[in-house]
Amino acid sequence: MFNALKIDNDETGYRTVHTRIDTTELPEGDVLIDVKYSTLNYKDALAITGKGPVVRQFPMVPGIDLAGTIRESSHPNFQPGEDVILNGWGVGETHWGGLAQQAQVRGDWLIRQPKGVTAEQAMAIGTAGYTAMLCVMALQKHGLEPSDAGILVTGAAGGVGSVAVAILSTLGYHVLASTGRPEEADYLTRLGAAQIIDRNTLSAPGKPLAKERWAGAVDCVGSHTLVNVCAGTRYGGIVAACGLAQGMDFPGTVAPFILRGVTLAGIDSVHCPSDRRQQAWDLIARHLDPGKLAIIGQQTVSLDEALPLASDLLAGKVRGRVVVDVNR
């Protein structure tokens, strides 16, 4: 038996409870993991509260991230005793996830925990930080250098945005941070932002082309914000799009793409190939300053404490990362 959060949806309604589950109920997988830590992401909060169509089958154990140690493995690339990380792959949506003391998954979904990164730190970084690194990798692959014009990060006070600001500034880029929370200006400056931009200047409908203000961008917001980000990108620049906090629509024109040669790069963290995942995590270990990770901050909570926090996270009341100690 092990402790877990479990979501059910039947004639009595949609509900998430902290319960005990028998190991025989675990779904199929060739690796059994003793989970040490998980996280509470936006998608997890939607799943736990039922406020978004995240869960595809029931019952479900939520948690799109986990870090732990392999107990049993029939996968050729992983052995018992190895420390591993899992992000995405539909875990917590179509396959039982990490908000539990045990998880049985496919070894193809795993990467090795980088040296110098603890399980708790890995979950403080989580899918948000891993996604941010994928965005930075896209900007660098495009050829953007720290000497180029600034890099804009939208939704900068959120999980992805915060790590993107921290990594980009550590790499020497001039970072412009867009946020709708002016009280977070000092926080973003401490992470390395050189300039704070009011999100209201980007979130309303704008012109097909605007003044060229940044060489690249990491957009976590979508909708009108993404359109305006593209419109303000310099000739030959790139925008890495990874989120839809404002919406999943793109109410814009092709003008930035055909008149300025702007590239819009979509960033998928859920089904990203394993070799690129491992590269991203190894780069995080190298370039995410532990001091800045501490500034981003975390709450480390128990499974029980994670339940009410889900609603607070959706309401925008949580800053930084929520790490879940599943054994507490």
pLDDT at 89: 96
By CB neighbour count within 10 A (0-12 exposed, 13-18 middle, 19+ buried), where does 253 fall?
Answer: middle
Is 148 part of a structural domain of the chain?
A: yes
Is 247 part of a structural domain of the chain?
A: yes
Q: Looking at the structure, tell me whether residues 134 and 168 fall in a common domain.
A: yes
Q: Looking at the structure, tell me whether residues 199 and 136 fall in a common domain.
A: yes
> Using an 8 Å Cβ cutoff, are 34 and 102 in contact?
yes
pLDDT at 298: 83
Q: Looking at the structure, tell me whether residues 131 and 261 fall in a common domain.
A: yes
Give the CATH number for residue 320: 3.90.180.10
Q: Looking at the structure, tell me whether residues 218 and 154 fall in a common domain.
A: yes
Is 255 part of a structural domain of the chain?
A: yes
Q: Looking at the structure, tell me whether residues 76 and 204 fall in a common domain.
A: no
**Of 245, 266, 287, at which residue does a domain stop?**
266
Q: Looking at the structure, tell me whether residues 201 and 314 fall in a common domain.
A: no
**Total count of domains within the chain:** 2
Contacts of 131 (CB under 8 A, 6+ apart): 160, 242, 267, 269
Is 277 part of a structural domain of the chain?
A: no
The reported pTM is 0.92
Give the CATH number for residue 169: 3.40.50.720
User: Which residue, among 174, 177, 235, 184, has the nearest Cα to 210 in the 3D structure?
Assistant: 235
Is 278 part of a structural domain of the chain?
A: no
Q: Looking at the structure, tell me whether residues 133 and 235 fall in a common domain.
A: yes
Q: pLDDT tens digit string along 6-38?
A: 999 999 999 999 999 999 999 999 999 999 999
Q: Looking at the structure, tell me whether residues 97 and 131 fall in a common domain.
A: no
Give the pairing of strands 214-219 and 233-241: parallel
Q: Looking at the structure, tell me whether residues 57 and 138 fall in a common domain.
A: no
pLDDT at 31: 98
Q: How many Cβ atoms from other residues are within 10 Å of residue 304's Cβ?
A: 11
Q: Looking at the structure, tell me whether residues 165 and 258 fall in a common domain.
A: yes
pLDDT at 321: 86
Q: Looking at the structure, tell me whether residues 94 and 168 fall in a common domain.
A: no
Round the average pLDDT of the chain to a whole number and report it.
95
Is 97 part of a structural domain of the chain?
A: yes
Q: Looking at the DSSP assignment, which residues form a beta bridge with residue 175?
A: 151
Q: Looking at the structure, tell me whether residues 89 and 138 fall in a common domain.
A: no
> Using an 8 Å Cβ cutoff, are 239 and 264 in contact?
yes
pLDDT at 96: 98
Is 193 part of a structural domain of the chain?
A: yes
Is 121 part of a structural domain of the chain?
A: no
pLDDT at 42: 86
Q: Looking at the DSSP assignment, which residues form a beta bridge with residue 234?
A: none
Range of the domain at 20: 2-113+297-325
pLDDT at 318: 80
Residues of the chain with pLDDT under 50: none
